[in-house]
Structure 1
Amino acid sequence: MTNHPIKILLVDNQENYVQLAQHALSSSELSCDIEVVDSLRSARHWLGKNQPNVLISNLYLPDGSGIELIEQTKSPAYPVIIMTSRGDERTEVDVMKAGAIDYLIKSTDTLQELSHTVQRVLRKWRCITERKCFKTTLRESEERLRHTTMNLPGIVYRFYIHPNGKMKIHFISGCIEKMFGWTNDFLKHDDLFERFLAGLDKRDYEPLMASVHEVVATRSPWEFEGRFIRPSGEMMWFRGMSNPSLQEDILVFTGIVLNITERKRAEEALRKSEEWFRSVVQNARDVIMVLNDQNHIDYVSPRSRPVLGYEPNVLHDKTITTYLHPGDQTKVHKHLTCARVYGEAGAPVEFRFCHVEGHWVDMEAFSIHLTAHSGVQGTLMMLRDITSRKQAEQHIYHLASP
């Protein structure tokens, strides 16, 4: 039942059946507003200006077929009931295929039950409409999900581990060709996990399986980095992540796989660069220090042992001023300030640095500021022991004196 009368368009040119139908609907508890027309043309004219809640039409009309009222719109906004006084099973099939919700053979009994038929059809139509709405919402949701997964930096997947130990990939999003080098045809195969394992670098097979078995035992979040060999022979690094959940005795991994090849290459390049830098620093003749803006020593090379007598960890985090001769502190501070302001200090500075045994060591330093350099922040000082040079200069001075 509705709050407003049900608007019914009745299309029929057989007067006796029209009267029976009107009487059956009017005398029922169903509140109806019935409009009667007797031809296809009149029905189309009325439908051009109005929309019924239910359309009831005779199959055979003077100027056409009632089916044409269904076919004129791809998706009618109201249910259609087709009636005929003569018909067979084939006719019923054709009518229902065309989109009618119900099909009636005209008789006194069927017309007397017309109000119940209308109510049944309206309930069915409501279910159809709700189902269409649900399908539309679901399709839009799936499209949003597809668009989201297609624009993610990796692949979304769903992986099941069954109680019998069988492992299977049940879902994998797009971009598999870009990441794994697989075509979309691979998604049709039932053995995606086996194919993935076949492409896995042999060095990573056992670690991967061990990580999965650990998750099975602990139910902890899963994360793994490994190498995959594409069909082209190219190697890529991937990172898989998931937070598994148990669903009816099945352990379900829903997560993402990222291509981390560029990151791994950058890490390898950085590692080699650090090894090279470490080798240069450790084998350099000069003492190398990195000072922060407060002139505290953040780093000192191992060369500090033979030159100054200090282990590097002893000098770490100490202010360099502590070890400078009082007469040299001002010019060293000016030298460091110049390096921070201009990027480099220009001319080197000479000063005296206190040896661990208490005597002064003559040093010469050149400084550059490294704030803009990746991974290094501070002022780099390269200190050279010039004690021998100073002694030679002093000796020459004495020889030259009268």
Structure 2
Amino acid sequence: MQAESIIHWKNRKDSRYEDISGNLTSGAAYYLHMSEREDRYATIREFLQEKYPEAVSISTISRQLNMNRGSVAKYLEVLQSHGNVIMKPYGKSKLYSIAQNVAFDDLFDYISDAIVILDADLHILMVNKSFIETFNIRSGKKIIGNELSRINLALLDNPTVLENIDRILNSRVFINEMLLIERGTDRIFLTEFVSTVIPSISFTGKPGIMISLRDITTWKKTEEALKSSEQKIRTLFEEVPSGIILFREDGTILNANRASLDILGLTRFTDLEEFKLHDIMCSREIIQNLIRQGEIAELTLSCNFDRLKSHTLTSTKKSGIAYFQIVFAPVTDKTGKSSSEFFILFLDITAKKIAEKQLKERYQGIVNNLPGIVYQFYARDSGEWGVYYVNERTQEIYGVPTEPLKNWFDRYGECIAPEDQERWFDSIHDVIKRVAPWEFEGRFIKPSGEEMYIRGISQPVRLKHETVWNGIFLDITDRRMAEEALRMSEERLRGITSNLPGIVYQFYARNPREWGTYYVDERSTEVYGIPPDPVDTWILRYGDYIAPEDQERWLNSIQDVIETVKKWEFEGRFIRPDGEEMYIRVLSQPVRLRNETVWNGIILDITDRRKAEEALRRTELKEARYHSFFENTCNGVLIYEPLENGDHIIKDVNKMTASLLRMDKEDIVGKRLFEEFPDLPDPYVRDLLHRVLITEKPEFVAPLKYRNREEFPWISHYVFKLPSGEIASFMIDVTDVVKDDAKPAKRKAK
């Protein structure tokens, strides 16, 4: 017999119909000649089918089919019990015909529940196809006639199930239904136990058992998921920080969660029951319009709790103005049809509103103090571009008015310097194409003609049909000037270091025993005859050429600055590898780092200075004599430097000049000649000074006064050019001579 399925009568292989022609006393005899019995069942059915609708007796069947009458009676009893044949009493006789309805056996395999039928000895009488498939019983395994325990079905082979089966067999109280969980798979089965007697199958008349197993794993999981979902919804309703109020079309409040009470400053739901929703939300018309429209909506409402407290919600603990972010929606049924109930979900955003206001104020404060303006530039997929927003300070900083906003970017771009125009437009088209951050620097000429430098910076945000750049235009004029100054300073530094009578270096010390150099000017070989590489040992190699009499002082100075971390200074005699003697001066400043100190410094060749010091000492006496002569000569001495506009800056004067000009020396030096003394004959004096500057030939100046006042003297000048390019004048007071020359003229005039 094939265990994997229950075979129908119609295919002539039903394994549940046993041989009943003999005395069956053992399991082996019970299943003897299985194929022969199946053929007999099929033969009887086919015979009755041929005779249909005629009903025939047992004797007729026995005689026609040449079968034992007793066996035929038993076969017919089995076929009748399974609904395959119909018996009609005829007097004391029984007449049989084939059944035209669907037999139990034909329906048994189509039942979705797994079913097993046991006899009183717990032998398996019947199983359906679902039982075999549910428990994956392999093909070829013998089931019918086997004891239940021998098919190794762990689900039924446990003490609770076996005890319940024993109760059924002994006609005691038993459990009709059980929930069983299969080990290993965690499948859940709703198991039903039914006491039954099927004489045609058991032949004993003793009660048997039908066990039905329904796999409800999916249903249980769905049920648990539904319970979990309901619990989550209940928890969400009560624990969500947003207020939720359920209400009817007329505004009657049906339910409200704890958060809504907290937001409204209430403690009990009964505080809300007597009010309509639009009475407590401070916006009756808005709420009623939402109800009439019956659509999902999101909006912001404000509520004056002080007014609300005096009219309706007298029990609220809130005060002042509050702002609510509200989501309104109708309650719909399973079909999506709106009912007459609605709900709002609302959140107190008062703090957010205040923060937004403060943020806006801070933003305005920041924007108003930026060295530039903020803007929002857009580029649409259609090719159109422009600005959505420009800070109003654009007029103040760049001289370009905000309005009309539509063409602001074009007007601003027209002020970009001509040499930067092409680069300006190329940069814009490039970032529009790539949707990338934008950066631009260039020269900007304000409508007033003032020049400045700008820097544009922005970041893109991609939207549905356009890209928006949020950015800033900075006035970087000061920075560019500083950069230019720095560039010039670096050039000067390079010029200085390349022309220094020495070299720059960087010396480090980690401790008194570990020190060396990080950097040495490549001119070390040229100036001192010591190659820079290897740089780490350079300071040691350089020290070998310090003159013997200065060696100890050299090393002591290094150890001293390492221990005290102070600036390093040293002067001494140095003997180059080629034998040439020179004098050096070491100057450096320390910078303390985490694990070491670094000295950045210079080693100067001061040979010429040392020689010059001696020469200087010899010239100091001459300088002193010159200074004494300059200050104490009886003639005035005036030195001035020519300017491009034709005026002259007074650079120096002696005591006599200050006396002649009736001023203190400090009040004269640094003044412009013709601004300070406007009474000087001009252009006579101006032209004379220019001639001397150009021709470098001295000239005498006719007597003149610096101020047309009686107390000012007449002064004669001898003007000449100095090697420095400055102009010098010897000044002589000729007032008496001028007056004497004037007396004959007066007498003649009389």
- Look up the equivalent residue of 1:207 and give its one-letter code: R
Give secondary structure in 1 for the equivalent of 2:381. coil
Separation in 2, partners of 1:224, 1:154: 14
Counterpart of 1:349 (choices 563, 569, 572) is 572
Counterpart of 2:312 (choices 52, 55, 66) is 52
Structure 2 residue runs without a partner (length 5+): 1-251, 254-268, 277-306, 315-319, 323-339, 510-515, 592-597, 612-750
Q: Does 1:158 align with 2:158?
A: no
Separation in 2, partners of 1:264, 1:199: 18
The match for 1:332 is: 554
CA contact (8 A) 1:297 1:320 kept: no
TM-score between both structures, scaled by the size of structure 1: 0.54
Name the CA shift for 1:157/1:49 in 2 (closer, same or farther; >3 Å).
closer
Name the CA shift for 1:320/1:336 in 2 (closer, same or farther; >3 Å).
same
Separation in 1, partners of 2:557, 2:568: 9
CA contact (8 A) 2:507 2:600 kept: yes
- Look up the equivalent residue of 2:429 and give its one-letter code: H
- Look up the equivalent residue of 1:366 and give its one-letter code: R
The match for 1:180 is: 398
Structure 1 residue runs without a partner (length 5+): 9-46, 55-74, 78-118, 390-402
Q: How does 1:28-47 map to 2 (within 5 A)?
A: none
CA contact (8 A) 1:369 1:379 kept: yes
Separation in 2, partners of 1:381, 1:239: 43
The match for 2:85 is: none
Separation in 2, partners of 1:298, 1:227: 39
Counterpart of 2:604 (choices 372, 375, 382) is 382
Give secondary structure in 2 for the equivalent of 1:50. helix
Counterpart of 1:287 (choices 502, 506, 511) is 502
Q: How does 1:2-401 map to 2 (within 5 A)?
A: 2=253, 3=269, 4-6=272-274, 50-52=310-312, 142-182=360-400, 185-284=401-500, 286-294=501-509, 295-296=516-517, 298-300=519-521, 302=523, 304-309=524-529, 314=533, 316=535, 318-325=537-544, 327=548, 329-335=551-557, 343=567, 345=569, 348-353=571-576, 355=577, 359-370=578-589, 378-384=600-606
Deviation per residue, 1:6-58 (Å, 9 max, x gap)? 469xxxxxxxxxxxxxxxxxxxxxxxxxxxxxxxxxxxxxx99932369xxxx
The count of aligned residue pairs is 272
CA contact (8 A) 1:225 1:238 kept: yes
CA contact (8 A) 1:237 1:261 kept: yes
CA contact (8 A) 2:561 2:567 kept: yes
CA contact (8 A) 1:289 1:301 kept: no
Name the CA shift for 1:228/1:274 in 2 (closer, same or farther; >3 Å).
same
Separation in 2, partners of 1:342, 1:210: 55
Give secondary structure in 1 for the equivalent of 2:311. coil
Give secondary structure in 2 for the equivalent of 1:232. coil
Runs of 4+ in 1 over 6 A off after TM superposition: 129-138, 337-342
Give secondary structure in 1 for the equivalent of 2:544. coil
CA contact (8 A) 1:297 1:318 kept: no
**Distance apart, 1:271 and its partner CA:** 1.0
The match for 2:242 is: none
Separation in 1, partners of 2:440, 2:504: 39
**Distance apart, 1:361 and its partner CA:** 4.8
Name the CA shift for 1:76/1:130 in 2 (closer, same or farther; >3 Å).
closer
- Look up the equivalent residue of 2:600 and give its one-letter code: G
CA contact (8 A) 2:568 2:589 kept: no
- Look up the equivalent residue of 2:379 and give its one-letter code: I
Deviation per residue, 1:241-268 (Å, 9 max, x gap)? 2221322232221122222222211111
Separation in 1, partners of 2:518, 2:504: 7
Separation in 2, partners of 1:335, 1:206: 61
Name the CA shift for 1:363/1:186 in 2 (closer, same or farther; >3 Å).
same
- Look up the equivalent residue of 1:296 and give its one-letter code: T
**Distance apart, 1:222 and its partner CA:** 2.2
- Look up the equivalent residue of 2:575 and give its one-letter code: R
- Look up the equivalent residue of 1:50 and give its one-letter code: S
Give secondary structure in 2 for the equivalent of 1:238. strand
Separation in 2, partners of 1:169, 1:229: 21
> Relative CO higher for 1 or 2, CA cutoff 8 Å, sep ≥ 6?
1
Deviation per residue, 1:247-292 (Å, 9 max, x gap)? 22322211222222222111111111121222232234x2222233
Name the CA shift for 1:251/1:361 in 2 (closer, same or farther; >3 Å).
farther
Separation in 1, partners of 2:360, 2:352: 12
Name the CA shift for 1:325/1:136 in 2 (closer, same or farther; >3 Å).
closer
CA contact (8 A) 1:155 1:256 kept: yes
